[in-house]
Amino acid sequence: MAEGGIGGQGGQGGTAISSTAGSGGQGGAGGTASVTILGAANFAGLGTGLGHSVFVSSNGGVGGDGGSATGVEGGAGGGGLAGAGGAASLTLGSATQAGEIHSSGKYGIAALVQSIGGGGGNGGQGFFTTSGGGGAAGGDGGPVTVNAINGSILSLFGASSSALIAQSIGGGGGGVGGDSNNVAIGASLAIGGNGGLGGNASQVTVTLGANSILGSLDVLGNGGVLAQSIGGSGGSGGSAAATGSGFLVMTIGGDSGGGGIAGKVQVTNAGLLSSSGDHAAGIQAQSIGGGGGKGGAATSFNVGLLPVAAVAVGGRGGGGGPAPINVLGVASAVRASVDRPAAARLS
């Protein structure tokens, strides 16, 4: 496992006429994670949670949260950028030596290979008449590669068990753009921070050679191969609220971040692949764009003897991320059995 560090939290702005808080620190990038199996790797689970014979993971660090501020002018700190996930790869066997990865037990996964971008830092909160800080973008998920040259990846038995999962996942944008909570005297404007963009996911490539055997053999198991690239979700916009007495009170909710872009997924099978279990696909390859975030709410309340105005404008929701066309090449046997499973599923 190669994992980037977490960004530090921004300093607080304190209470003053002019108050500006510090931004969160950037999360560290995940390094390269690579494993080659020559010989056997076995895992026997107890059925109490996930377990893996082989776990290859590169994760970006989470961005730090922005500091909060209280004052007549200034603003809260923005969230720190997230670190990107690094490349993750698994090689099974060689031309002269076989490799074996076997697991048993409920929820077991014989091999899990993944790269995940860190989550963007949240914006700080603004109080009195300061604005909220913006959330930061999520980190990109790195490329993931599995090359089964010679050997087997098998989930021997266990409900909800899988043979191989390979995935690249973009990190979520700064979860909430900073809220702004203001008190109005005469006139006031409160603005919530914007949510961060979701991180993009990278390409996932799975190559199953002619001398490879993969499968989930339990009748209650999951699929044989799940390869997926998933864009990160956009962060939600911060809310804005103002209450007081004056001729104008206006609040604007923060806009949310758009979802991250999914990468291409390419699976090529020249070996033997088998799965058993309800709805268990032999091969499932999917690219999923990240969902857009939710726009921030806006609330204004104004009281006065003269004609007064209270205006509240909600933030815009973020758009979903796009996904490319995937490639699935099957040059050998893919067998799925039991109730309504698919031998190969592309989405």
Give tens-digit pLDDT for 270-310. 888 877 767 677 888 899 999 998 888 888 877 766 667 77
Residue 159's pLDDT is what? 79
Task: Report the range of poorest mean pLDDT among 1-10, 219-228, 303-312.
Answer: 303-312
The Cα–Cα gap between 136 and 59 comes to 17
pTM above 0.85, yes or no: yes
The Cα–Cα gap between 7 and 65 comes to 8
**Residues in CB range of 267: below 8 A, 6 or more apart:** 205, 206, 208, 225, 227, 283, 285, 327, 328, 329
Q: How far is CA 222 from CA 159, 253, 279, in A?
A: 8, 43, 8
Q: Of the candidates 231, 229, 224, which has an alpha carbon nearest to the alpha carbon of residue 265?
A: 229
Other residues' Cβ atoms within 10 Å of the Cβ of residue 7: 26
The Cα–Cα gap between 180 and 170 comes to 28
Instruction: Name, of 183-197, 209-223, 279-293, the range with top average pLDDT.
Output: 279-293
At residue 83, φ and ψ (nearest 5 deg) are: -85, 150
Q: What is the pLDDT of residues 103-134, one digit of tens each?
A: 888 888 889 999 999 999 998 887 777 778 88
> Helix, strand, coil: what percent of the chain each, to 5?
0, 50, 50
Q: How far is CA 175 from CA 22, 57, 162, in A?
A: 18, 23, 31
| Confidence band of 230 (pLDDT split at 50, 70, 90) | very high
Beta-ladder partners of 287: 229
- Residues 151-177 have a mean pLDDT of 85
Look over the chain and give the mean of its residue pLDDT values, rounded to a whole number.
Answer: 83
The Cα–Cα gap between 145 and 209 comes to 14
Q: Where are the domains of the chain?
A: 110-116+137-172+199-234+258-297+318-347
Residue 24's pLDDT is what? 87
Residue 340's pLDDT is what? 46
- Residues 84-109 have a mean pLDDT of 90
The Cα–Cα gap between 37 and 300 comes to 62
Contact 97, 40 (CB under 8 A): no
**C-alpha 112, offset from chain centre:** 16
Beta-ladder partners of 205: 145, 266
